[in-house]
């Protein structure tokens, strides 16, 4: 299954790059943003599902051991650990998890495996490969 994973590849190519995630960990495209996302960088980050940290570079990867259920479990577990599900009823929790899966699937279906992607708010786009 195609998923998004954190990558250090091409980190530093952009002056505002940062990467506090673990190499290869699953990431999502949805993150809550503060009131100054351009200044602090949260509007450019892909939140890591394991570390709860973020990176500005993610890669479309094919992980054969993943399927929609395991990805949903990873998203739910991350949201739960982060306290994001605490005030939601079960239907709202399911909806939030589904929103993440939809966004991840849309990005993964738009780009081939190995594509390094960046994010700016709700826009995810491929990073040009270094020559
Ligand atoms: Zn911020």
DSSP per-residue codes, 23-81? TT-BB-S-----S-HHHHSGGG-EEBTTTS-EES-EEEEE-TT--HHHHHHHHHHHHHH
Q: How far is the CA of 10 from the centre of ligand 1 (A)?
A: 22
Task: Quote the CA–CA distance of 63 and 92 in Å, as a whole number.
Answer: 28
Q: How far is the CA of 67 from the centre of ligand 1 (A)?
A: 31
Q: How far is the CA of 36 from the centre of ligand 1 (A)?
A: 5
Q: Which two tokens stand for residue 32?
A: 């809550």
- Which residues neighbour ligand 1 (ion) by CB within 5 Å? 34, 37, 40, 42
Q: How far is the CA of 63 from the centre of ligand 1 (A)?
A: 30
17 and 56 in contact (C-beta within 8 Å)?
A: yes
Predicted model pTM: 0.93
Cross-strand partners of 123: 120
Quickly state the pLDDT bin for 128 (edges 50, 70, 90): confident
pLDDT tens digit string along 106-120?
999 999 999 999 999
- pLDDT for the residue numbered 47: 96
Quickly state the pLDDT bin for 131 (edges 50, 70, 90): low
Quickly state the pLDDT bin for 104 (edges 50, 70, 90): very high
Helix 90-110 × helix 68-81 angle, to 10°: 120
Which helix or strand (DSSP H or E) is residue 125 part of?
A: strand 123-126
- pLDDT for the residue numbered 130: 63
pLDDT tens digit string along 41-99?
999 999 999 999 999 999 999 999 999 999 999 999 999 999 999 999 999 999 999 99
Rama region for 111: left / alpha / beta (φ>0; ψ in -120 to 50; rest)? beta
Quickly state the pLDDT bin for 31 (edges 50, 70, 90): confident
């Amino acid at each position: 299954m195609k998923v998004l994973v954190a990558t250090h590849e091409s980190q530093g190519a952009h002056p505002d790059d940062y990467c506090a995630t673990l190499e290869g960990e699953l990431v999502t495209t949805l993150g809550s943003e503060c009131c100054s996302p351009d200044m602090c960088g949260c509007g450019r980050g892909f939140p890591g599902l394991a570390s709860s940290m973020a990176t500005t570079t993610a890669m479309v990867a094919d992980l054969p051991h993943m399927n929609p259920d395991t990805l949903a479990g990873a998203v739910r577990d991350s949201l739960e650990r982060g306290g994001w599900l605490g005030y939601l009823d079960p239907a709202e929790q399911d909806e939030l998890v589904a929103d993440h899966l939809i966004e991840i699937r849309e990005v993964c279906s738009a780009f081939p495996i190995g594509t390094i992607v960046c994010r700016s708010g709700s826009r995810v786009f491929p990073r040009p490969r270094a020559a």
